């Protein structure tokens, strides 16, 4: 629960270098769960607020947080995100926090736990990217069904045929095509509204990703002793049909982290809570309440064949 001095339901946190990060609070329960870069998931995750305080915030140079033009304040990439998470915790006067990280922010939560492990109670990785950015997994662990290639081709065509529409309109067209890769059943793609195309920061987010975030992830050289620092239990929730973050990476996380278990969802892709909502939210609730979900298992090998 947030202390009385931090009752604002939304506002700004000031990072160590002076940048402001926008945050929003839902719920007022005793357990505090922080969702970095999570405002695009707010409406989906709000059901977890019963008995908890959920804190969603925009990363630097994203969403409603300050726009950044100084490269010096961006060059740290994902490492900036780790320290900004600590700034959020300190500003709001929170003790230990549980974390939920989707996609590449699943990696961010682990890096945070490596650096600030005393501050973490539990971690949920939703469809996390692999621990090693350049590792290639066997075909049956990558969901290489041709959909990603089709979507990338459509996006290239969209870019080539771009007319005089506004950046906002182009963003909407871009997401209407891209969202297909995040679900197994294409009919579920309409449930995804992650673009936030009305926000200037989001219109430039791919440039920021390509120039700063992804290179910082590729430069990581995590060692066994680094993973050993993560003492909090970690629940990994991952669809076996994920085209964005290979399922093999989720299995590897479960092997590398000292106290981690994997919930595999056979008919889900990068947004498993959309395709299997009762199982996903039931498992997350059980885990946040202090016990392992029944179907979450400790993986014995990356390739189970």
Establish if 301 belongs to a structural domain: no
With respect to residue 303, please indicate whether it lies within any of the assigned structural domains.
no
Q: Which pLDDT score is estimated for 162? A: 87
Number of domains the chain is built from = 2
- Domain, as residue range, for 102: 4-143+211-288
Question: Which pairs count as long-range contacts for 47-53, CB under 8 Å and 24+ apart, including other chains?
Answer: 47/281, 48/281, 48/284, 48/285, 48/288, 51/27, 52/27, 52/288, 53/1, 53/2, 53/25, 53/26, 53/27, 53/28, 53/29
| Residue 237 belongs to domain with CATH number | 3.40.50.1820
What span, in angstroms and rounded, lies between the C-alpha atoms of 215 and 228?
24
Residue 10: beta bridge partners? 24
Residue 82 in domain:
yes
Query: Residue 292, class by beta-carbon neighbours within 10 Å (0-12 exposed, 13-18 middle, 19+ buried)?
Result: middle
Same domain, 165 and 124: no
Nearest-angstrom CA–CA distance, 72 and 75: 6
Residue 304 within any structural domain of the chain: no
pLDDT digits (tens, 9 = 90+) for 88-102: 999 999 999 999 999
Q: Do 225 and 116 sit in the same domain of this protein? A: yes
Spatial distance between the Cα atoms of 268 and 31, rounded to a whole number of angstroms: 28
Alpha-carbon distance of 109 to 59, in angstroms, equals 13
Q: What is the arithmetic mean of pLDDT over 200-205?
A: 94
190 and 69 in a common domain: no
Residue 165 has pLDDT above 50, yes or no: yes
156 and 32 housed in the same domain: no
CA 80 – CA 199 distance, rounded (Å):
21
Does 304 have pLDDT greater than 50? yes
Residue 237 lies in a domain: yes
Residue 277: how many other CB atoms lie within 10 Å: 12
Do 202 and 178 meet the contact criterion of CB atoms below 8 Å apart?
Answer: no
Question: Do residues 125 and 218 both lie within one domain?
Answer: yes
> d(Cα 245, Cα 210) in Å, to the nearest integer?
16
The rounded percent of the chain whose pLDDT value lies above 70 is: 97
Averaged pLDDT of the chain: 94
- For the cut 60, the answer to whether the pLDDT of residue 2 exceeds it is no
Per-residue pLDDT of 227-274, as tens digits, reads 999 999 999 999 999 999 999 999 999 999 999 999 999 999 999 999
Same domain membership, residue 161 and residue 44: no
| Average confidence (pLDDT) over 104-129 | 98
Residue 11 lies in a domain: yes
Q: What is the pLDDT of residue 6?
A: 46
In a domain, 49, yes or no: yes
In this structure, are 90 and 160 located in the same domain?
no
- pLDDT at residue number 5: 43
Are residue 157 and residue 46 in the same domain, yes or no? no
Per-residue pLDDT tens over the stretch 139-164: 899 998 899 999 999 999 999 988 88
DSSP class of residue 73 equals G
* CB-count exposure of residue 16 (10 Å: 0-12, 13-18, 19+): exposed
H helices of 92-186, in order, are: 104-115, 147-160, 167-178
Same domain (yes/no): 187, 64: no
DSSP 211: I
């Amino acid at each position: 629960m947030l202390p009385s001095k931090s009752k604002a339901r939304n506002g700004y946190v000031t990072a160590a270098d002076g940048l402001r990060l926008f945050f929003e609070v839902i719920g007022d329960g005793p357990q505090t769960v922080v969702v970095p870069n999570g405002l695009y998931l707010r409406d989906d995750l709000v059901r977890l607020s019963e008995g908890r305080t959920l804190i969603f915030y925009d990363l630097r140079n994203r969403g409603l947080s300050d726009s950044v033009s100084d490269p010096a304040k961006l060059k740290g990439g994902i490492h900036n995100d780790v320290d900004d998470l600590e700034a959020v915790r300190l500003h709001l006067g929170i003790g230990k926090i549980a974390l939920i990280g989707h996609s590449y922010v699943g990696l961010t939560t682990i890096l945070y736990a490596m650096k600030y492990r005393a501050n973490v109670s539990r971690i949920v990785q939703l469809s996390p990217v692999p621990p090693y950015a350049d590792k290639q997994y066997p075909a049956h662990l990558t969901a290489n069904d041709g959909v990603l290639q089709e979507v990338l081709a459509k996006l290239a065509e969209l870019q080539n045929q771009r007319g005089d529409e506004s950046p906002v309109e182009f963003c909407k067209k871009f997401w209407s095509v891209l969202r297909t890769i995040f679900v197994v059943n294409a009919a579920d793609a309409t449930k995804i509204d992650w673009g936030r195309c009305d926000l200037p920061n989001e219109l430039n987010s791919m440039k920021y990703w390509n120039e700063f975030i992804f290179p910082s992830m590729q430069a990581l050289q995590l060692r066994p002793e680094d993973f050993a620092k993560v003492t909090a239990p970690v629940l990994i929730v991952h669809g076996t049909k994920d085209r964005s973050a290979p399922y093999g990476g989720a299995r590897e996380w479960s092997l590398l982290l000292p106290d981690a278990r994997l919930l595999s969802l056979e008919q889900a892709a990068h947004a498993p809570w959309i395709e299997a909502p009762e199982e996903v939210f039931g498992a997350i609730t059980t885990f946040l309440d202090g016990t392992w979900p029944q179907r979450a298992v400790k993986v014995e090998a990356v390739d189970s064949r």
